Amino acid sequence: MVRSAVALAAAFALAVATTVVDATVDATCKSAAAGDSRVNLQLCLSQLGHHRESPDADTWGLAKVASLVGVNSADLAADDIKTLEVSHPSPALAQCAKLYAGVGLAFASAQDEINKRAYAAGKQRLAEAISLTKQCDAAFANAKAAVPQPLAQRNADSVQIAIIATAITNLIKQ
């Protein structure tokens, strides 16, 4: 009987903790979207809600998590570029490969700056990630070619993640 009560209490505590965690990500993403109309709320919720560091994170922590999600997104884009280069080599893909090394570094630097509470510098790094990603799109536009999938989606996601990270950083009370 006592074990049942303890197990029930533990299950209840876990359910409450999960709700609180979800509420933190939910509230932060909603606030970020309210502060910046470019924020894709669903992407914010899905990316931050599934990251292993989100459950214990406050707004500052979620800004860092969003930057780390950007690093992961840049890595996935770089992998996609390598795959695409095998079957469809092009100067635009080669340019994007170089640019995405910088995108990943910009997101990682943003995380470092936000971690040091150097928010302006972190937001500069996030703006750099956006610029580099858009340069990848421009490489294809200059070649009068469409950005191939899945790279087109990765580019859109990288820009959106940088926007989300910036919007969350803007929520941090200094």
At residue 110, the pLDDT reads 98
At residue 85, the pLDDT reads 94
Q: Which residues of 10-48 are buried (b: 16+ CB within 10 A; e: fewer)?
A: eeeeeeeeeeeeeebbbebbebbbeeeeebbeebbbebb
At residue 59, the pLDDT reads 92
pLDDT tens, residue order, the chain (174 aa): 444 433 333 333 333 333 333 458 999 999 999 999 999 999 999 999 888 777 788 999 999 999 999 999 999 999 999 999 999 999 999 999 999 999 999 999 999 999 999 999 999 999 999 999 999 999 999 999 999 999 999 999 999 999 999 999 999 986
Which CATH architecture is the domain 21-171 placed in? Up-down Bundle (1.20)
At residue 12, the pLDDT reads 37
C-alpha–C-alpha distance, residues 41 and 47, integer Å? 10
Question: Nearest to residue 171, comparing CAs of 50, 40, 31?
Answer: 31
Question: Nearest to residue 63, comparing CAs of 51, 73, 75?
Answer: 51
At residue 2, the pLDDT reads 43
Q: Compute the 3-state secondary structure of the chain and give helix, strand, coil in percent, each to the nearest 5.
A: 80, 0, 20
At residue 50, the pLDDT reads 84
At residue 18, the pLDDT reads 32
pTM: 0.84
